[in-house]
Structure 1
Amino acid sequence: MQGFKDVPRTVWLLAAGVFVNAVVSCTFVFVFVYLTGPRGLGAAQAGLIVGIGGVGLVAGNFTGGWYGDRFGHRGVLLTASALGGAVLVVLPLLPTALLALALPLAQYASGVVRAANSALVAVTVPEGSRRQAFAVTRCLSNGGFTLGAPLGALIATGLSYDWLFVADGLGTLFFALWTAWVVPAGGAARPGETAHGSPPGRGGLWRELRTRPALLVLLGAIVVIDLVYRQHYTTFPVFLADHGLDTRAYGLLIAINGGVILLLEIPAALALRRCSPLHLIGTGLVLVGAGYAMLMLGVGMPAAVAMMVLLTLGEILYKTTATAYVADESPEHAVGRFQSLYAGVSVSGVVLAAPLGGALYDTAPDLLWPLCAVLGAAAGATVLVMGAPGARRRARPAHETGSRPRAVAG
């Protein structure tokens, strides 16, 4: 654990809160069933509400870091957690007509929390240790979800779906209180200033991004790979069912995904911390594409297991590394905005994956997995080219490198 010595105690405590919250934050898995079951909505109505909720989640990710740069990441995280938790707690009491407003609002708050949490970690941890820090938070988050999904199923079937939302809301409110306790507010940088007291640089976000061409390429590649990656939540279970593999088989594959992450996320971050981030990200994207290529070799559990293992190895390599890379590339006055931009593109598949993948699967099912494999390989190869020795990176001034720990924006 020597490589984790530079991960501050605050980050470990924050990750512990993320774990507890993740255990009870599994309602999104059951929302469609809840709407079409206890709430009595048709599939079209339920799908519309879920789709609007997905837009809310993406919008929250895109804006959470912007709020943090202006008002302080800690304060934004507390506010969004309190708002989202309150909405979820009262949601079972709301009339059905208000669900189209309440669920997207809760999802929007969840997206803000995700972006603000990433930005909070980024400004707390020095460059060189961010991969390890994000690996800790991602591993514990996945661990909580791995426990929470089956627990949520037991609560839904043994008690009621209403208790799922109450538990999720209480868990989110707990996370707000926990964050207020473990993340210090004193000595925080004032909104609109960098941690070292200097005014933010002039020029908008686009100007900052144009000086970082590798980052622009990475963001485009992440949009592509998230569209591919999220097929395992949308068309993949339909594909399994069409070939005689039921929900239990899909559940086993999802468990493999969570288990591999729990086993390898932190060791991989430690072992590969000195490797080029763009090389790791590019390799990860290629592995995600290679996972879907396994489905072209035949239908059955062996191919499905191979697909899930490769996909999981790919996400272990690219997700944590990309989050840390974006933080390392951020100017100090725009850490939140950069994290928010990455957070938004990294969940863009929530909106795009189901309609695009579903349409292709309906019209030309044999083309879906080859296309996913090609897109993954192309996205990965593009990032690898940007990370090649001949591709020169922009030299950054010392105050932008993040080599010193920064004050926590409050």
Structure 2
Amino acid sequence: MLQGFKGVPRAVWMLSPGVFVNAVSSFTFVFVFVYLTGPRGLSVTEAGLVTGIGGIGLIAGNFTGGGYGDRFGHRRVLLIASALAGGALTLLPLLPTTALYAALPLAQYALGAIRSANAALVAVIVPEGARRQAFAVVRCVSNGGFTLGPPLGALIATGLSYDWLFVADGVGTLFFALWTARVVPARSAARAPAAAPDGGLGRGVWGELRARPAVLVLLGAILVVDVVYRQQYSTFPVHLADHGLDTGAYGLILALNGAVILVLELPAAVALRARPPLRVVGVGLLLVGAGYGALLLGTGIATAVVMMVLLSLGEILYKTPATAYVADQAPAHAIGLYQSLYAGVSASGVVLGPPLGGALYSAAPGLLWPLCVVLAAGAGAAVLWAHAEQQRRAARPARPAHETGSQPKAVAG
């Protein structure tokens, strides 16, 4: 299997330990609501407002971090965002409660910028053709860290205090900045951003995307599926509880997601590296829909496990190839911007998923899972259609010059 990763540059392998430590320490998002309503004494409504604003900051950071990198350098933006987020998280326990309304969204914005800047940095230092494997490596170590983080965070919160959660998260983020500065030399990420074709901003974001309709379809599909995918963190545990399965059962089922990804992510990246990316992504989105479809057969341990396995397989198939495809399709002057667009839509479910899913589950619980199936299946079908269209265009013969009116003029003798 290692032969399949020969094209991944040394810088990506060296970056991975920092990504792992940062992911392990990124446990505050799991406990922030409990922290605000507990030690900080906010009401549920106030805590919801703070976390909601923080979620908007997170999405905004995802949408902008890569674009900043196109202008100022991806390594530089990653280091600045990591230092800002790490400092804000470390100092957050010392701030008065009223300051949390600004400090937490600021930290979340910086964390979002880290995600898109890191993806853009990987896309820049990895040559086309090896990006799928490179992103798989980064995702694998990141998922490993996220698997260990929550139980470690619970130990810190119960053994020390919730304040130490933020200190540990901040220190881990600062470590990531120092590690990146050490193992990714400026020269390896100093590829000057290419100028736009007209020397300015080119055709603009919309013009660039219209010239790449498959990317537009993919981004729309990922936006829809992320809202569906993240129901596993909001309405799904409520659904399990309503059917007699406690928090312990939910934790074990959720751990299955991390286990499947850790075992299969890298082998899948190697085995499927020559497959058309949009076809792989489309099948992955269909599997996400099939996962929620398993819940239509009834709710118990068996169907919940089937649901999580299918969801995890779908995640493996769609997330890494989609990230790499967007990087490969980006114009040279906008690699970071395209990674920001993908990062933003692929995290939008963090903000949109809980309120939309919760509202539907409260009003008509029997409709939520069928709708998830339909939305994911529709998104998968749209991506498969975009792949088929792309293939048809590639196979279409070029029109003769006399039909396009582009034949050369006769030279006067």
* Cα distance in 1, alignment partners of residues 395 and 45 from structure 2: 49
2:276 is the counterpart of 1:276:
yes
Matches within 5 A, 1:192-207: 192-193=193-194, 202-207=202-207
The one-letter amino acid of 1:50's match is T
State the match for 2:143 in structure 1: 142
Deviation readout 1:35-81 (Å, 9 max, x if unpaired): 11111111111111111111000000000011000100000000000
User: CA separation in 2, counterparts of 1:191 and 1:127?
Assistant: 17
Kept in 2: contact 1:192–1:200 (CA 8 A): no
Q: What is the CA RMSD across the aligned residues, in angstroms? A: 1.8
Hey, what does 2:267 align to over in structure 1? Answer: 267
1:188 Cα offset (Å):
5.1
Task: Tell me the amino acid that sits aligned with residue 224 of structure 1.
Answer: V
Change (3 A) 1:79 1:393: farther
**Where does residue 285 of structure 1 map in the other structure?**
285
Partner secondary structure for residue 186 of structure 2 = coil
AA matched with 1:48:
L
Give, in angstroms, the shift of residue 202 of structure 1: 2.3
Shift of the 190–36 alpha-carbon distance from structure 1 to 2, 3 Å rule, reads: same
Name 1:226's counterpart in structure 2.
226
Separation in 1, partners of 2:192, 2:199: 10
**Equivalent-residue separation in structure 2 for 1:334 and 1:288 (angstroms):** 30
State the match for 2:241 in structure 1: 241
- Does 2:180 align with 1:179? yes
Unaligned runs of 5+ in 2: 397-413
Measured in 2, the distance between the counterparts of 1:204 and 1:128 equals 26
Distance 1:38 1:393, change over 3 A: farther
Q: Deviations over 1:136-186 (max 9, x none)?
A: 000100001111111111111111111110000000000000110111113
2: CA distance, partners of 1:155 / 1:7: 36
After alignment, is 56-65 or 379-388 more displaced?
379-388
Partner of 2:154: 153
The structural deviation recorded for 1:392 is 2.3
Seen in structure 2, the aligned counterparts of structure 1 residues 200 and 258 have a Cα distance that, compared at 3 Å, is farther
Which structure's CA Rg is the greater one?
2
C-alpha contact 2:81 2:114 (8 A) present in aligned 1:
yes
* Correspondence for 2:359: 359
Distance 2:255 2:191 in 1: 43
> What's 1:400 paired with?
none
Asked if the contact 2:291/2:306 (under 8 Å) is kept, the reply is yes
Report the alpha carbon displacement of residue 87 of structure 1 after superposing the two structures with TM: 0.3
Provide the C-alpha distance between the structure 2 equivalents of 1:181 and 1:203, rounded to a whole number of angstroms. Answer: 37
The count of corresponding residues between Structure 1 and Structure 2 is 394
Q: Which amino acid aligns with 1:12?
A: W
1:391 Cα deviation after fit: 3.6
Tell me which amino acid in the other structure corresponds to 1:260. V
Deviation string, structure 1 residues 268-314 (Cα, Å, up to 9, x no partner): 00111000100100000000011000111011110101000000000
C-alpha distance in structure 1 between counterparts of 2:140 and 2:186, whole Å: 26
Q: Structure with the greater relative contact order (CA < 8 A, sep ≥ 6): 1 or 2?
A: 1
The residue type equivalent to 1:135 in the other structure is A
CA contact (8 A) 1:139 1:262 kept: yes
Note if contact 1:226-1:349 (Cα within 8 Å) is conserved in structure 2: yes
Q: Deviations over 1:304-343 (max 9, x none)?
A: 0100000000000000000000000011100000000110
Q: How far apart, in 2, do the equivalents of 1:393 and 1:129 lie?
A: 22
Q: Which amino acid aligns with 1:152?
A: G
Question: How far off is 1:25 after superposition?
Answer: 0.9
The amino acid across from 2:287 in the alignment is L
TM-score by length of 1: 0.93
Distance 1:394 1:136, change over 3 A: farther
Distance 1:25 1:159 in 2: 17
User: What is the letter of the counterpart of residue 363 of structure 2?
Assistant: T
Please state if 1:63 is matched with 2:49: no
Take 2:238 and 2:81, find their aligned partners in 1: how far apart are those partners?
35
Equivalent in the alignment of 1:406: none
1:392 aligns with 2:393: yes
- Identify the residue that residue 258 of structure 1 maps to in structure 2: 258
C-alpha contact (below 8 Å) 1:71/1:191 kept by paired residues = no
Q: Distance in 2 between matches of 1:200 and 1:183?
A: 29
Alpha-carbon separation, structure 1, partners of 2:248 and 2:392: 47
Aligned-residue sequence identity (percent) comes to 71
**Partners in 2 of 1:151 and 1:325 — Cα distance?**
34
Q: Distance in 2 between matches of 1:140 and 1:179?
A: 15
| Aligned residue number for residue 16 of structure 1 | 17
The corresponding residue for 1:408 is none
Supply the distance in 1 between the matched residues of 2:130 and 2:70 (Cα, whole angstroms): 22
Indicate the residue corresponding to 2:381 in structure 1: 381
Structure-2 residue corresponding to 1:38: 39
1:127 aligned onto 2:128:
yes
Cα separation, 2, equivalents of 1:188 and 1:90: 30
Alpha-carbon distance in 1 for matches of 2:198, 2:360 = 51
One-letter amino acid of the structure 2 residue matched with residue 261 of structure 1: I
Structure 1: state its 5+ residue gaps. 396-410
Supply the AA of the counterpart residue of 2:261. Answer: I
Paired residue secondary structure (1:244): coil
Are residues 115 and 123 of structure 1, via their aligned partners in 2, closer, same or farther at CA, if it must alter by over 3 Å? Answer: same
Indicate the residue corresponding to 1:404 in structure 2: none
Superposed displacement of residue 16, structure 1 = 1.5
